[in-house]
């Protein structure tokens, strides 16, 4: 199941802005694998859940960059200090200061309702149960953990499917600001905007004939060639 669980890595950023951020995911993944292989499934779940929350934070960060006014309105009720910090912060990891159940409500900004979000709350509740010294071992078998990993991956896929408009907006913005340097375009998209492999794959559906990217014929040609080669046939 470790091989199946690796699917979440494709939804997480390929590159990060700082060396410290770059080290964090490998640290979590190593903790997940080591505990999984040593049958410490409860601790393996904790590490995998933290990877899931990374996906949540980076997705909401992208939503914030495209819909800042909506994001600011959604912060009502969180308190002035938290509101100011999140609006002015330069890292998606700042979202970790919010209650995990509450933070999922930001996905209303991309079309999810309370019923859908409520289903995801069960993942948070399970993590809360596991993370306390309550005398219980909640994951006593690999099958129990594998089932939870499947639920997390289903949740991730649902969120990703609703991120298309946000991703396209970021993609168009970066493309419109770039001249003809494909390498620099990739650097801005991947590192500064934290795009994942799944984000890049989704951008194969981007409308390259839009006015927002008018006059970028050479760069668009490079992007199409590179993206089709890298992502279009990866499932074959």
Does residue 7 contact residue 196 with C-beta atoms inside 8 Å?
Answer: no
Using only the alpha carbons of the chain, give its radius of gyration: 19
Asked whether residue 67 carries a pLDDT value surpassing 90, the answer given is yes
Give the model's confidence band at 132: pLDDT under 50 very low, under 70 low, under 90 confident, else very high: low
Does residue 164 contact residue 79 with C-beta atoms inside 8 Å?
Answer: no
Looking at residue 236, its pLDDT comes to 43
Does residue 170 contact residue 66 with C-beta atoms inside 8 Å?
Answer: yes
Q: What is the pTM of this model?
A: 0.89
pLDDT in tens, 11-49: 999 889 888 899 999 999 999 999 999 999 999 999 999
Give the model's confidence band at 167: pLDDT under 50 very low, under 70 low, under 90 confident, else very high: very high
**13 CB-side CA count, 13 A:** 30
Long-range residue pairs from 26-33, CB within 8 A, at least 24 positions apart, any chain? 28/54, 32/5, 33/2
| Residue-averaged pLDDT of the chain | 87
pLDDT in tens, 53-65: 999 999 999 999 9
Burial of 45 (0-12, 13-18, 19+ CB in 10 A): buried
Asked whether residue 156 carries a pLDDT value surpassing 70, the answer given is yes
Percentages of the chain per state (helix, strand, coil), in multiples of 5: 75, 0, 25
> Which residues lie below 8 Å from residue 136, measured CB to CB, with a gap of 6+?
129
Asked whether residue 152 carries a pLDDT value surpassing 80, the answer given is yes
**What are the structural domain ranges in the chain?**
2-162, 165-232
Looking at residue 211, its pLDDT comes to 57
pLDDT in tens, 199-229: 999 988 888 777 556 667 788 888 888 887 7
State the distance between the two ends of the chain, measured CA to CA, in whole angstroms: 21
Looking at residue 179, its pLDDT comes to 75
Looking at residue 134, its pLDDT comes to 66
User: What SS3 state is found at 204?
Assistant: helix
pLDDT in tens, 75-123: 887 778 888 878 887 789 988 888 888 899 999 999 999 999 998 998 8
* Alpha helices (runs of H) in 89-216, residue ranges in sequence order: 100-103, 114-130, 142-161, 164-177, 182-187, 197-202
């Amino acid at each position: 199941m470790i091989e199946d669980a690796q699917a979440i890595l494709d939804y997480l950023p390929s590159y990060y802005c700082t060396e410290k951020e770059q080290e964090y995911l490998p640290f979590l993944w190593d903790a997940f694998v080591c505990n999984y292989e040593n049958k410490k499934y409860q601790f393996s779940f904790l590490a995998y859940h933290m990877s899931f929350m990374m996906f949540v934070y980076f997705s909401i960060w992208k939503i914030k960059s495209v819909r800042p006014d909506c994001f600011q309105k959604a912060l009502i009720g969180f308190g002035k200090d938290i509101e100011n910090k999140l609006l002015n912060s330069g890292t998606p990891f700042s979202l970790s200061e919010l209650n995990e159940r509450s933070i999922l409500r930001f996905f209303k900004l991309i079309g999810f309702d309370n019923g859908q979000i409520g289903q995801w709350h069960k993942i948070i509740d399970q993590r809360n149960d596991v993370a306390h010294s309550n005398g219980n071992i909640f994951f006593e078998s690999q099958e129990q953990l594998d089932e939870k990993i499947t639920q997390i991956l289903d949740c991730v896929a649902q969120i990703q499917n609703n991120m298309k408009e946000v991703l396209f907006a970021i993609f168009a913005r970066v493309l419109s600001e770039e001249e003809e340097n494909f390498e620099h375009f990739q650097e801005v998209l991947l590192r500064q905007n934290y795009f994942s492999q799944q984000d890049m794959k989704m951008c194969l559906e981007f409308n390259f004939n839009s006015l927002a990217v008018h006059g970028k014929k050479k760069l668009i040609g490079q992007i199409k060639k590179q993206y089709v080669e890298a992502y279009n046939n990866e499932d074959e």
